[in-house]
Amino acid sequence: MVKFIFTFSLLLCFLSAYCQNVNLQQEISLPKSRYQLSELLEEITSQTKAQFSFTSELNTNKRVQLSDSVSSIRDILNQSINLKNFKIQARGGKIFIVSIPPYDRKYRISGYISDAKSGEVLINATVANLSNFTGTVSNNFGFYSLSLKNKTHLLQFSFVGYKEVLLDIELERDTTINISLQPITMLQEVKVTADERANNINHLFVSTNSFQAKNMQQTGVFGENDLFQNLRHLPGVQNSNEGLGGLNIRNGSPDQNLILLDDVPVYYSSHLMGLYSVFNQDALNQVKLVKGGFPAHYGGRVSSVLDIRMKDGNTKKLEGGYSLGLLTAKFNLNGPIKKDKTTFNLSIRRTYLDLLINGILDLSGSDVNAGYYFGDLNWKIVHRFSQRDKLYFSTYWGGDLASVKSSENISTNIREKVRYKLGWGNFTNSLRWNHVYNDHLFGNTTLILSRYTFLLKEKRSQKANDSDYMENYIHEFKSGIRDFSFKTEFDFIPDYKHYLKFGVEASLHHTKPGSDFLKNTRDNNPGISTDELIKSKELNLYGEAQIRFGKKLLLNMGTRWSSFIVDNTYYSTIEPRLNLQYFLTPKWSFTSSFSQMTQYLHLVRTSTLSLPTDLWFPVTRKIKPIDSFQYTTGTHYSFNESVKLNIEFYHKLSRNLLDLKGTSYFQDVSSDWENMVESGKGWSKGLEVELSKSLGKTNGNIAYTLSQSKVRFKGINNSKAYASPYDRRHNFSIQVNQFISNKTKFSAFWTYGTGLPATLSTSNITAISPYDPSSFETKTVYTERNSYRLPDYHRLDLSISFMKKKKHGTRSWDISIYNFYNRKNTSFMYVSTDNSTSTDPKLKKINLFSFIPSVSYSYKF
Amino acid sequence: MNYFKLLISLILLLLVISCEEEAELPTAQSDPIISINSLIGVDSLIKVNLSKSVGSPVEIQYISDATITAYKNDKELGEFIYRENGTYELPEQYLASESEYQITITHPNFKKVTTQTIAPKKVLINDIKLLNDVSEGKTTFKLKFTDDASQSNYYMLLVKGISNNYSNVIEYYSNDIVFEGNLNVNDNGFEQNMLRGSRSFSDENFESSQVEISFYILNDDFFVDYQEYKIELYHLNEDYFNYERSFVSLENKGDLPFSNKTNLYSNVEGAFGIFTSYALDYKIVSKQ
């Protein structure tokens, strides 16, 4: 009690003392909007009786323009006095305007960092203050902001693969400086001019790989320089079924990867059933893969985030290129529409397999016309209104289309023409507005439309004798998902020790499991049409703070609150995130992280392939969202700016994963899918090692992953745990790029992985006929899920490029060989019960993509 | 739906540049597992067939020394007696409709398994009409029965041709919505593909409790001149329905590459097989 009275008395004393101070929050009404400062101070004194005390340094003759007629004293003074040079304090009945000593004054330098040749912004470029080895990094839009004391500083702007810029600067006011870095050619030797302590300032390395799209070296099947192929040489990234199954990151399924193209989620990221990614290298600027330690601004999937940024377009001059390969033709054009104001980037890619096939069919006089192609179009336009405002509009359209046309005589005088079309693809749009509110605060507001559609059309028409064809049958089927999102986020950078990011994201998901339209003109019935639309809403709020403690410890902590509503079912999750990085020396750091992720959309797959018929479904009352909890710890060592060693261990637990029940099959995924799947748990762990050299005549990387992944579902596999479909124990790859001369580059890539799990029906049982209880048949069944392994996987890819400078640009011949030593890698195996050749069942292995040579020609201007 | 054809064409396009290898089948990685087969009709003798899973399809291994105990509505009925070829019988015990039966199987080499079934009630055929359309070469049947709307019901329809006191299950086709396209004569689309030929259906698509189903046979389908047709309406329980569907889908799926692996439906935990029941009503109609 005595303690309480004592504390309470102290509090009262404190409050009474406080009350005697001038209240700076007190609102006053000002008759004018323009004042001389001395006049303004007198006006405040007359209304509040507060006396001002200030030094002669304060220019009381300056004119002041006020925004509001009624305002608090603090707001009025904040508008009138430069707070960089003066502090405002209220004590007793006085207001002190105290001059900050010049050496304590802080000013801010901010701006954008870009490529000097193309004007493309550089993401994650370093700004280091070499006088005290503090600094910052540029954000996703190339913006940086750093506060410095009022004295001379030596600033270093750097980015891997670019010549660093050293800037000797003495700040007297907040300053905006846009920096352009000159790219260095691979043949130039690495020169380390600055102190190694300037490296990696404020860079968090946890489970993240970033690279520029122009440095993608790895060609895939038919020589296409594919993004996913380039990701597969990173540790923790593996492919299943020879690239046909999408990307598997840290043993997660492909649908657990959040793939963002200019902030827009891309739902189906592959062409040709997963063989190629939908991302055209010509359109891309920067790629960031986050496998763990997810910052709070990412969410919605549980395994990884692939953040892809499209090129803004060259700000200096018009440039572009084209290429012709065995499979695809590409064209790119980008440049300024209005110099330093508006830029555009246009990229087009199309395969021409269909043209070749149809040509051959036409030559052979066939009545059948069949083809398949995929195409992509990327379009981006960027307009800079001022140094503070930028508007971006990006569009991606991409799709696959297969078609068959045929005609035949169905009777002596009637000919029927049948046309099938099967198409699927993405259409994504984002409109983003960047605004620099002040030198501390950067904002980005985005409107998003993302659409994935699968479409089938069947049309039949008939004609009698010489009459025209009359359409008599139409069938259309559509399924897909459509997202409308609004997102606004802010980067708040109070000083070099703190970097805060916070935002809100709201989305409407419209899932269409399948709509049918059927019209048969022969039976005079009206068309039959069925449609179903599942509407769901998602709201996310997040905030994260990156804090630097001294020069050794960097911490990023944050929280994401996600919520989801569908059909009166509501889910909400708090997702904590924590990343730590401790620099033992400037070159050597240790990292650790924890992150919880939640996924509210499930991809229901109809096969082991990544098929376009796979459907995204929102969670239901019965099917709950997937939660994952991932812990990582690792160490990172930079031998120099180019050579780096990363070792990381991860452990991941997932809940509410889905797998097909033992006897279920997807006849039609749009109906009753909830009853065909079981929910269960999964856990994965792994060790990743990567040694990379990014610069110089010889560069490349070596990656090794040791991992284990298991799942358990009630009612499947007798409720016992079994290997997950993505459980590859050892995964090793080595990539070497060698510049033989200025004109010739050679690349080699070898990968090895132990076999993926497989389920084989190796047991035979007698099964009673459902139509005759006295009759029995032999059926092959499996006793355990994923108890067998595919053979080990390995292959060697080689490529060589011959470049030559021409009058208007550079031409290049690229020759590549996929699977050089013709390794027959098994993508799928099954037990064949075909008794035509033998009574014993045999194991059949399907091997895809043996030795495939390819050649392409490209020209860049 | 025909998009399956196109998808398969695309996959085949990939497979053009692929190849298939044959290898020796690895030995089964688990010990033999008991397999139970029992589909019992109401008013029929209660029988169970026991065998065990094996690595080779040619060597069926029946189990003759198991102990099978039966229970009816939680009361022990007695032990089964072994007859031959893995078949056990419960002497003098006939399946009663709407009763619950449970069996327990013990054997020194296998872990004990238990399974049960509830025998359904017979659903009577109210009417059957037959129309032979010679010009179209098909014989159409119209079957009427009453569905109990107060519960979920599962059915199976079989057509048997009778000739010289010998009956044989014959193919029939139907565009009726209850078969969800599984018995369309020419449709081999993806949706139907896995269940193509399935003769079971549920009451999900019934419009009223008075059900009329139309189906037909193609007169040219048979080499035998059937004089009569036996139309059998099976009232199934859900396990039987699931078993029939998985039996058909396993057959249709065959060696389809890149498909998800599925197994034959079983209602026996820790073992393979089925122990379920049905109630049958039938009508015999003469050929017109």
Q: What is the pLDDT of residues A669-720, one digit of tens each?
A: 556 778 778 899 999 999 999 999 988 889 899 999 999 999 999 888 888 8
Residue pLDDT, tens place only, A597-618: 999 998 887 777 777 777 788 8
Top-level class of domain B125-255+278-286: mainly beta
Residue A12 is predicted with a pLDDT of 44
Interface of B with A in 60-79 (CB under 8 A): 60
Q: Give the percent of chain B with pLDDT over 90.
A: 48
B280 contacts chain A (CB < 8 A): no
CB contact under 8 A, B247 and A844: no
Given a contact cutoff of 8 angstroms between Cβ atoms, the answer to whether B207 and B119 are in contact is: no
Convert the pLDDT of each residue in A330-364 to its tens digit. 999 999 998 888 999 999 999 887 877 777 777 77
Residues of A in contact with B26 (CB under 8 A): 760, 762, 788, 843
The pTM of the full predicted model, rounded to 2 decimals, is: 0.83
Alpha carbon of A662: minimum distance to chain B alpha carbons (Å):
5
ipTM: 0.92
The residue with greater pLDDT, A275 or A255, is: A255
Given a cut of 80, whether residue A628 has pLDDT beyond it is yes
Same domain for A614 and A519 = yes
- Do A180 and A250 lie in one domain? The reply is no
B44-63 residues touching A, CB cutoff 8 A: 49, 51, 53-58, 60
Cβ neighbours of A827 in B, within 8 Å? 18, 258
* Dist. CA A686–CA A710, nearest whole Å: 12
CATH of the domain at A57: 3.55.50.30
| CATH value at residue A722 | 2.40.170.20
pLDDT tens, residue by residue, B152-183: 999 999 999 998 878 889 989 988 888 877 88
- Residue A329 β-bridge partners: A324, A350
Q: What is the length of chain A?
A: 861
- Tokens, residue A102: 């010049």
Interchain contact, A664 vs B29, CB within 8 Å:
no
Question: Are the beta carbons of B57 and A372 separated by less than 8 Å?
Answer: no
In-domain check, residue A3:
no
Could you tell me which chain A residue has the CA closest to the CA of B51? A766
The answer, for B220 touching chain A at a CB cutoff of 8 Å, is no
Q: Does A393 touch chain B (CB under 8 A)?
A: no
Query: Can you tell me the distance from the alpha carbon of A40 to that of A364, in angstroms, rounded to the nearest whole number?
Result: 92
Domain membership of residue A304 (yes or no) is yes
Question: What is A476-488 written as a DSSP string?
Answer: EEEEEEEEEEEEE
Most confident of A53-67, A95-109, B134-148: B134-148
Question: Looking at per-residue confidence, does A23 or A232 come out higher?
Answer: A232
User: Mean pLDDT over residues B256-285, rounded?
Assistant: 88
Mark whether A417 and A562 lie in a shared domain: yes
Whether residue A61 is found in the same domain as residue A141: no
φ, ψ of residue A229 in degrees (nearest 5): -60, -35
Give me the pLDDT at residue A15, please. 43
Q: Across residues B1-16, what is the average pLDDT?
A: 54
pLDDT attached to residue A24? 81
Q: Please determine, for residue B70, whether its predicted confidence score (pLDDT) is greater than 60.
A: yes
The pLDDT, as a whole number, for residue A11 is 44
At A473 the pLDDT is 80
Report yes or no on A686 lying in a domain: yes
Please tell me the predicted confidence (pLDDT) of residue A478. Answer: 86
Nearest CA in chain A to B193: A667
Dihedral sign from CA coordinates of A77, A79, A80, A84:
positive
| Domain co-membership, A396 together with A467 | yes
Q: Is B160 on the interface with A (CB under 8 A)?
A: no
Q: Give how many domains chain A has, as a whole number.
A: 4
Cβ–Cβ contact A764 with B under 8 A? yes
Domain boundary among the residues A160, A191, A222 is at: A191
pLDDT at B208: 86
Average pLDDT in chain B: 85
Q: Are residues A405 and A540 in the same domain?
A: yes
Cα–Cα distance between A454 and A452 in angstroms, integer?
A: 7
pLDDT at B199: 93
Q: For residue A197, is it within any domain?
A: no
How many A/B residue pairs have CB atoms within 8 Å? Answer: 217
Q: For A543-600, how does the pLDDT look when each residue is reduced to its tens digit (9 = 90+)?
A: 999 999 988 899 999 999 999 999 889 999 999 999 999 999 888 999 999 999 999 9
Q: Is the pLDDT of residue A17 over 50?
A: no
pLDDT of residue A476: 84
The answer to which of A37-51, A641-655, B247-261 has the lowest mean pLDDT is: B247-261
| Whether pLDDT at A311 is above 90 | yes
* Partner-chain contact B53 A763, CB within 8 Å: yes
A138 and A237 both lie in a single domain: no
Q: Identity (one letter) of the amino acid at B114?
A: T
Give contacts of A 218-247 with B, CB under 8 A: 241, 244
Distant-in-sequence, close-in-space partners of A338: CB < 8 Å, separation ≥ 6? none
A418's tokens = 């049948």
Q: Does A33 touch chain B (CB under 8 A)?
A: no
Best probe of the B interface among A604, A765, A832, by most B CBs < 10 A, is A765
Indicate which CATH number applies to the domain containing A238. 2.170.130.10
Q: Which of B6, B253, B272 sits opposite A765 (nearest CB)?
A: B272
User: Is the separation of the CB atoms in A281 and A213 below 8 Å?
Assistant: yes
A242 or B114, which is more confident: B114
Residue A834 and residue A704 share a domain:
yes
Where a domain ends, among A244, A276, A308?
A: A308
Domain parsing of chain B, residue ranges: 34-118, 125-255+278-286
Of the two residues A380 and A81, the one the predictor is more confident about is: A380
Spatial CB neighbours of A175, under 8 Å, sequence gap ≥ 6: A107, A108, A109, A110, A169
| pLDDT value for A96 | 84
CB count in 10 Å sphere of residue A385: 13
Are A346 and A229 within one domain? no
Domains B34-118 and B125-255+278-286 share a fold: yes
Task: Read off the pLDDT of residues A417-449 as tens digits, 9 standing for 90 and up.
Answer: 888 888 899 999 999 999 999 888 999 999 999
Report the distance separating Cα A246 and Cα A240, nearest Å. 7
Residue A155: give its domain's CATH number: 2.60.40.1120
Cα distance between residue A635 and residue A164, in whole Å: 26
Are A818 and A220 spatial neighbours (Cβ–Cβ below 8 Å)?
yes
Identify the domain boundary among A141, A164, A191. Answer: A191
The dihedral built from the CA positions of residue B172, B176, B182 and B188, taken in this order, carries a sign that is: positive
Place of tokens 């069947």: A458
Please give the Cα distance from A485 to A537 (Å, whole number). 10
The answer, yes or no, to whether residue A1 has pLDDT greater than 70, is no
Distances (CA, A) of A10 to A18, A21, A90, A254: 12, 17, 21, 62
Q: Which of A422, A611, A845 sits opposite B23 (nearest CB)?
A: A845
Would residue A13 count as lying in a domain?
A: no
Dihedral of alpha carbons A706, A226, A224, A799, sign: negative
Residue A364: DSSP 8-state? T
A143-154 pLDDT per residue, tens = 998 888 767 788
What's phi and psi for A563, nearest 5 deg? -140, 150
Whether residue A529 sits in one domain with residue A408 = yes
Question: Does A787 fall in a domain?
Answer: yes
Cβ atoms of A296 and A578 within 8 Å: the answer is: no
Longest CA–CA span in chain A (Å) reads 112
Residue at A589 is within a domain:
yes
Whether A249 has a pLDDT exceeding 90, the answer reads yes
Tell whether A8 is covered by a domain: no
Instruction: Judge residue A168's burial from the number of C-beta atoms within 10 Å of its C-beta, 0-12 exposed, 13-18 middle, 19 or more buried.
Output: exposed
Tokens of A691: 């040694």
Residues A625, A674, single domain; the answer is: yes
Q: Chain B partners of A853 at a C-beta cutoff of 8 Å? A: none
Q: In whole angstroms, how far apart are CA B206 and each of A101, A267, B148, B177?
A: 88, 37, 11, 9
Residues B21-34 pLDDT 10s: 888 777 766 788 89
Q: Which residue out of B20, B60, B167, B239 would a mutagenesis test of the A interface target, given it has the greatest number of A Cβ atoms within 10 Å?
A: B20
Tokens of A782: 């499996």
* Cβ pair A772:B169 closer than 8 A: yes
Mutation target for B interface from A615, A665, A825, A843: give the one with most B CBs within 10 A.
A665
Average pLDDT of the segment spanning A785-800: 90
Where does the pLDDT of residue A853 fall: very low under 50, low under 70, confident under 90, or very high at 90 and above? confident
Q: Is the domain B34-118 a CATH 2.170.140 member?
A: no
Query: Is A642 within 8 Å of chain B by CB?
Result: no
Amino acid, res. B63: I
CB A28 within 8 A of CB A76: yes
Query: Domain range spanning residue A49?
Result: 21-100
